[in-house]
Amino acid sequence: MTIEQPLAQLSFGYIPAQILYTATELGIADALADGPLDHRDAAERTGADPVAVLRLLRALVGLGVVAQLDADRFELTASGRQLMTGTPGSLRDDILLSAMPELWRAWGDLPQVLRSGQPPRNPATGLTAHEALMRDPQLAEKFRAAKVLGNQVLTAGVTAAYDFSRFRTVADLSGDEATLLSAVLTAVPGLRGVVQDRPEALERAAAALAGAGVADRADVREGDVLGSAPLGADVYLLAHVLREWDDDQATAILRNCRAAMAPGGRVVIVETVVPAVLTPEDSATYGMTDLNNLVYAGGRERTAEEFRALLAGAGFMLTAQTSMKLEPGMPDYHLIEGTPGV
Q: Is the pLDDT of residue 70 over 70?
A: yes
Q: In whole angstroms, what is the distance from residue 132 CA to residue 122 CA?
A: 9
User: 316-324 and 235-239 as β-strands: parallel, antiparallel, unpaired?
Assistant: unpaired
Q: Does residue 317 sit within a domain?
A: yes
Q: Does residue 191 sit within a domain?
A: yes
Residues with Cβ < 8 Å from 13, sequence gap 6 or more?
none
What is the structure's pLDDT at 1?
46
245-292 per-position pLDDT tens digit: 999 999 999 999 999 999 999 999 999 999 989 888 887 788 889 999
Average pLDDT, the chain: 91
Please report the sign of the dihedral spanned by the C-alpha atoms of residue 274, residue 275, residue 277, residue 281: negative
Other Cβ atoms less than 10 A from the Cβ of 323: the count is 11
Residues 152 and 293 reside in one and the same domain? yes
Q: Does residue 98 sit within a domain?
A: no
Residues 78 and 10 reside in one and the same domain? yes
Q: Enter the pTM of the model.
A: 0.87
User: 302-303 and 192-197 as β-strands: parallel, antiparallel, unpaired?
Assistant: unpaired
29-39 per-position pLDDT tens digit: 999 999 999 99
Domain count across the chain: 3
Residues 286 and 220 reside in one and the same domain? yes
Is 260 within 8 Å of 233 (Cβ atoms)? yes
Residues 281 and 259 reside in one and the same domain? yes
Provide the 3-class DSSP secondary structure of residue 323.
strand
Mean pLDDT of 212-241: 94
Q: In whole angstroms, what is the distance from residue 128 CA to residue 121 CA?
A: 5
155-200 per-position pLDDT tens digit: 888 998 999 999 999 999 998 889 999 999 999 999 999 999 988 8
Q: Is the pLDDT of residue 5 over 80?
A: no
Q: Does residue 95 sit within a domain?
A: no
Domain that holds residue 78: 5-88
Q: Is the pLDDT of residue 99 over 90?
A: no
Burial class (CB in 10 A: 0-12, 13-18, 19+), 121: middle
Residues 226 and 308 reside in one and the same domain? yes
Residues 84 and 113 reside in one and the same domain? no
Residues 298 and 317 reside in one and the same domain? yes
Q: Is the pLDDT of residue 2 over 60?
A: no
Q: Does residue 99 sit within a domain?
A: no
Q: Which of 88, 120, 155 delimits the end of a domain?
A: 88
